[in-house]
Chain A
Amino acid sequence: MTTTYDYSRSQQLFQRAVKVIPCGVPGHMSPGVNVPAADYPIFTEKAKGATFYDLDGNRFIDYMCAYGPMVLGYNNPLVDNAATEQLKSADLTMGASPKMVELAELLVEMVPVADWAFFAKNGGDVTNYATMIARTATNRKKIVMIQGGYHGVAPWMQPPGHHGLIEEDYSHIIRVPWNDVDAFQQAVDQYPGEIAGFIATPYHVATFYDNELPEAGYWPGIEMICRKNGIVLILDDIRHGFRLDMGGSCEYFGFKPDLICFCKALANGFPISALVGRESLKLDAAKIFYTGSYWNQAVPMAAAIACLTELKRLDAPAVMLENGKKLFTAMQTMAAGYGYDLKVTGAWSMPNIRIANDDTNMLHQQWCAECTKRGVFLASHHNLFMSLAHDEEVISQTLEIVDEAFNALDGGQA
């Protein structure tokens, strides 16, 4: 039986962090989102493949993959070499990088919907840009999004009631429930000729809740309403992109958006995001002045080219879907042996899992914490991520540790 981890060094550094940084570690890497936070590491020392080591030397098999960017394994030599080689010649200079053109050509070739590509840094840069293009193209104000949908942190994307927002930030945002074509139609009827764009993820991944795949007819229904009413259909593929289909997750679900936002798995952790779109929106995209100090960095572009090429060569989405299925069905069987109902929702390559025996989720939180402090990092309220580094050996190690965690649960009896 493995002993559970100690996090004293992480905690000590956190005490320093909190003196000079709001929240200590702000944003989605904040330890405050883990339950209980004391059972989770805070600072990483090094990483390789599917694993990372924290400041206390504890080793974790990572099922969050840095919230998705890691897709080939940490410190993947192919991607890192491409980046290092580029760094030796030039990164950010007073000229655009030829890599930008190469990367755009690669995306246009790979993604059926794409006739052009545009690059930024974070996911939110391109979801925001997509709505600006929709507004320019339609000369309309309103954007429809899904209740509980996440597209980044610009004020319009955040739910009303959160700090730093004013009413005007979301006065042209309409939120409709997921998997509800009628609700979208109603919004269109209520605001005829006023809706510029519809933005959603390929399937619904609201934090804290089970993930929801699109019902049959959902995407075709949404697509039809958009076409009929001249509404720009925006796919936020930032989280799902390249874990379902290399051509964009719309290919997996069988529909054709006008714009697709990519980010996380694009460059295996190097900072870059992309918006790709149809020819019909290229002129509108060109009219908008939209840029940032580092958006022309060549290193992440070189990394993205290497990453996408490798993902494609390995048929990565299919492999991650298959390995995820093996791992999580085995985990479900194991859970059942202990008397637990492990509910898996979403796609196998990035599933949401939850012990469903207890509706308060306390049991599930306890189990995720037991796994984490034994070396399998599981967030309790976010979908997990597979990567290509989560191979058979890693999966076997995972199952061993997960078994111990089930054993450690209060109520766990076979």
Chain B
Amino acid sequence: MNHEQIKALLNMNAVMKNLEELVLLDSQVAEQVKELDFAIEFSTLFGPKCSVEFKAGQCRVRPGKHHRPRIRLLCFSPAHFNRVMEGKSNPVPVKGIKFLKFLSTEFPKITDRLEFYLKPDNARLADPDYLRINTRFTLNTAVNAVKLLALHDTLGKFNRAHIPNGTVEFRVLPEGPSAVLSFDGDTVEVLDQPCARPSAVLLFKDEQTANDLLNGNSDAFAALATGDVMMKGRIPMIEAINLILDRIPLYLS
């Protein structure tokens, strides 16, 4: 896979994936989607596809085609899709033209909210609610991106080869979000459920610490030394994941 293809994969399955929680966490978006009952398929020529399905106030973002999308949006290349994600271009509706109004007015409101939560600045982060949601989304994006990079990025694959089978839990204390990555042979998965006996654990003292570290604004070694970030268990798993995490900004900045 080339750079733009991997970036498109990340945009779909790590960044857009946050729509699943956005509809639950943001009241404005929740209100907007509560009546929706259909799926949008994004496809790119020479690149990945994914679908965003709304139903009963929930949202699911899945890789691949959708069996019956109401709307199908086409990009001519992965690079085109990536420009769409940056707000610099538009996809071409090839199915569901009559929902153009939804696409031109409603959907952008949702994606604007997503962007709002994913683009922190100091003023926004001062708001605890914002911090909480941004941290959650950043963690989601990170673990999903690690999964994809471990499978597709050259150095990601190299680092993945050094990760023994097992599970790694990321947890933000005291009651922040958590995520689990599971490695088993050639498969890498993000698990929905906490895991009873993880092979390794990376703990963040609080949301601010997690936020700083995951957004690349703090020094991991220093944070470990002060105890703001703690790790235990099979450290080589965390070290290798860390190197993969550091590759995310090469694709998503």
Contacts and interface: CB of A to CB of B under 8 A. Distances in A.
Interface of A: 11, 14-15, 18, 22-26, 30-32, 35-38, 42, 159-163, 208, 359-362, 365, 381
Interface stretch (B29-37, B84-92, B126-134, B218-226): B218-226
B67 interface: no
A188 B220 CA distance: 40
Contact of A11 (B166, B221, B226, B240): B226
Given A161-B158, A161-B243, A360-B197, A24 B232 contact: no
Contacts, number: 77
A362 B234 CA distance: 8
A24 B221 contact: yes
Contacts of A163: 243, 246
A25 B236 CA distance: 21
A36 B230 CA distance: 6
B21 to A, nearest CB: 29
Contacts of A15: 226
B158 A37 contact: no
A25 B200 CA distance: 24
A163 B233 CA distance: 24
Contacts of B224: 30-32, 37
B6 to A, nearest CB: 16
Contacts of B198: 360
B221 A161 contact: no
Contacts of A11: 226
B199 A360 contact: yes
A208 to B, nearest CB: 5
Contacts of A18: 219, 222, 225-226
24 contacts: A14-B226, A15-B226, A18-B219, A18-B222, A23-B219, A23-B221, A23-B222, A23-B225, A24-B221, A25-B225, A30-B221, A30-B225, A31-B224, A36-B227, A37-B225, A160-B158, A208-B234, A360-B166, A360-B197, A360-B199, A360-B233, A360-B234, A361-B234, A365-B233
B182 interface: no
Given A23-B222, A24-B225, A36-B230, A162 B235 contact: no
B180 to A, nearest CB: 14
Nearest to B230: A36
B25 interface: no
A171 to B, nearest CB: 14
A35 B232 contact: yes
Contacts of B243: 161-163
Contacts of B235: 35, 208, 361, 381
Contacts of B232: 35-36, 360-362, 365
B220 A360 contact: no
Contacts of A24: 219, 221-222, 225
A198 B28 CA distance: 64
A162 B158 CA distance: 10
A259 B250 CA distance: 41
Given A161-B243, A365-B232, A37 B227 contact: yes
A36 B166 CA distance: 21
A105 B14 CA distance: 63
B231 interface: yes
B213 to A, nearest CB: 12
Interface of B: 155, 158-159, 162, 166, 197-200, 219-227, 230-236, 240, 243, 246
B223 to A, nearest CB: 8
B233 A362 contact: yes
A403 B198 CA distance: 28
Interface-centre pick from A14, A31, A381 (highest chain B CB count, 10 A) = A31
Nearest to B155: A161
A23 B221 CA distance: 5
A38 B227 CA distance: 6
Given A160-B155, A161-B159, A360-B197, A32 B246 contact: no
A109 B6 CA distance: 59
Nearest to B233: A360
A42 B221 CA distance: 13
Contacts of A38: 227, 230
Given A22-B219, A208-B236, A360 B200 contact: yes
A410 B178 CA distance: 25
Contacts of B226: 11, 14-15, 18, 37
A11 B224 CA distance: 12
A14 B225 contact: yes
B225 A361 contact: no
A32 B242 CA distance: 14
Contacts of A32: 220-225
Contacts of A37: 224-227, 230
A355 to B, nearest CB: 13
A25 B9 CA distance: 38
A366 to B, nearest CB: 8
B18 to A, nearest CB: 27
Lowest 9 A-B CB distances belong to which pairs? A32-B224, A32-B221, A31-B225, A38-B227, A23-B221, A360-B233, A161-B155, A161-B159, A18-B222
Given A23-B219, A160-B158, A163-B246, A42 B225 contact: yes
B221 A26 contact: yes
Contacts of B234: 208, 360-361
B219 to A, nearest CB: 6
Nearest to A360: B233
Nearest to A24: B222
A38 B226 CA distance: 7
Nearest to A7: B227
Contacts of A14: 225-226
B237 to A, nearest CB: 10
Given A32-B221, A42-B225, 9 more contacts: A15-B226, A30-B221, A30-B225, A36-B227, A163-B243, A163-B246, A360-B200, A360-B234, A361-B235
A364 to B, nearest CB: 10
A48 B58 CA distance: 66
Contacts of B197: 360
B1 to A, nearest CB: 17
